[in-house]
A = this chain, B = another copy of it.
Amino acid sequence: MYQVEHTFAALGDATRLAIIQQLAERETSLSELANPFSMSQTAVTKHVGILAQAGLVEINKRGRTRYCRLKTKPMQQAEQWLETYQKFWKENLNNLANYLDQEE
């Protein structure tokens, strides 16, 4: 079953966010993904593995190449989680003063 904390944990790393930004452009192979980083391909592959395990990335093999593709659903659900709480905070009278406080 889906648990939003896994999505947040997967997003909680600068390298992985950069990978996601690349995959938002287009499907990308592992070696191409690793290229811009000053770290080994093994390390990047591990990051992709963490994204895949969280359901954020799908890996497809064609020939000797592994192509990575973004899966947007978990991020949509994570956004929804934030959205729900955002609404709740804004409507919660007890916290309204606090909320306004923070706008300064």
Interface, chain A (partner B; CB < 8 A): 3-6, 8-14, 16-17, 20-21, 24-27, 69-73, 75-76, 78-79, 82-83, 85-86, 88-89, 92, 94-95, 98-99, 102
Copies of this polypeptide in the complex: 2
Interface pair A9/B5, CB less than 8 Å apart: no
Majority SS at the chain A contact face:
helix
- What residues of chain B lie closer than 8 Å to A21, measured between beta carbons? 85
Interface pair B94/A26, CB less than 8 Å apart: yes
Interface pair B8/A11, CB less than 8 Å apart: yes
Interface pair B9/A12, CB less than 8 Å apart: yes
Report Cα–Cα, A72/B17, bound state, in Å: 21
- What residues of chain B lie closer than 8 Å to A102, measured between beta carbons? 71-73
Which residue from B11, B25, B73, B86 sits with its C-beta under 8 Å from A75?
Answer: B86
Q: A5-B17, A13-B9 are in contact. Are A70 and B95 (CB under 8 A)?
A: yes
Interface pair B85/A82, CB less than 8 Å apart: no
Smallest CB gap from A23: residue in B = B95
Which residue from B5, B11, B69, B82 sits with its C-beta under 8 Å from A13?
Answer: B5
